[in-house]
Amino acid sequence: MGTKPENRKVGIIGAEGRMGRAATHALLEADGLEVVALFDVNSGEKPTGKVPSVNSLSGLIEASPEVVVDFTVAEASLSNLPQIAEAGIHAVVGTSGFTEENHEFLDGVFQKSSCLIVPNFAIGAVLMMRFAELASPWFQTGEIIEFHHNEKVDAPSGTAIATAERMLEASTEWMADPTSKETLSGTRGGDAGSNIKIHSVRMEGMVAHQEVILGTTGQSLLIRHDTTDRSAFMPGVVLAVQRIQGTGLTVGLESLLGV
């Protein structure tokens, strides 16, 4: 009989946030994974249920996780990730707000392990982005409206930016915005490049939602995804932690889903 493989050890940064708490629960329940340490700047060093909390990033690294899951903010991630990379630990990052320069920096830093930045862990949202990419060559105008809870500090969302990037890669034939005058500044949204506009809504009662609207002569196409509960993100979180490997930076779950 073969030897049963050891569980993959996992550490979580931002463990006291909404996503951090949900991810902790999901990863504790997942097969083949063992959560060995939790770190959050708002908590001290104490046991949290089945898992000890640590009071520093170095304490998390000392717990010897193979993968660290990061649910903080971009500024904190950019401070933490080089230390994680130096330790040869894989990083699954659910933080948004990274720039292209940040991506290039992280790709260079992760020489001994891999960094997977995921704009959206919901499988349906990944498919929404893929559908928008497939449809883009057949339409001449496109806009994105993203809706999030009122505690989200950055705008637009990482999902909206990633969607726009895929649409721009799929087609360069986007019609110019005909608007010559904005009576209220910003009404037409932010320009994602080549005339694709992004509009951000922050509102109590929402979790995460996005619409991609595509139009051409005589027709329009609406692609929408709604996340009504954070449990929708957890299968993607577990999948990312189970499958992350290699070195360098990857953005998005697509490579793990085969889409």
- Domains along the chain with CATH numbers: 8-117+231-257 (3.40.50.720), 123-178+190-228 (3.30.360.10)
At 244 the pLDDT is: 96
DSSP code at position 138: G
At 143 the pLDDT is: 98
At 48 the pLDDT is: 53
Q: How confident is the model at residue 117 (pLDDT cuts 50, 70, 90)?
A: very high
Averaged pLDDT, 68-91: 96
124 vs 48: which has the higher pLDDT: 124
Mean pLDDT for all residues in the chain: 92
Cα 153 to Cα 113: distance, rounded to the nearest angstrom: 29
**pLDDT tens, residue by residue, 89-107:** 999 999 888 888 999 999 9
* Range name among 79-83, 152-156, 211-215, 220-224 with the lowest pLDDT average: 152-156
Residue with tokens 């000392």: 62
At 69 the pLDDT is: 98
Distances (CA, A) of 216 to 71, 135, 138, 146, 171: 39, 11, 8, 21, 14
**Statement: residue 147 has pLDDT above 80:** yes
Distances (CA, A) of 251 to 30, 52, 141, 229, 232: 23, 30, 26, 23, 19
- Catalytic (active-site) positions: 148, 152
φ, ψ dihedrals at 62, nearest 5°? -65, -20
Q: How confident is the model at residue 3 (pLDDT cuts 50, 70, 90)?
A: low
Percent of the chain with pLDDT over 70: 95
**Statement: residue 258 has pLDDT above 90:** no
**pLDDT tens, residue by residue, 7-63:** 999 999 999 988 999 999 999 999 999 999 999 987 655 545 678 889 899 999 999
SS3 of residue 136 by DSSP:
helix
Return the closest-CA partner of residue 133 out of 155, 166, 91, 109. Answer: 166
**Statement: residue 183 has pLDDT above 60:** yes
**Statement: residue 2 has pLDDT above 60:** no
**Statement: residue 225 has pLDDT above 90:** yes
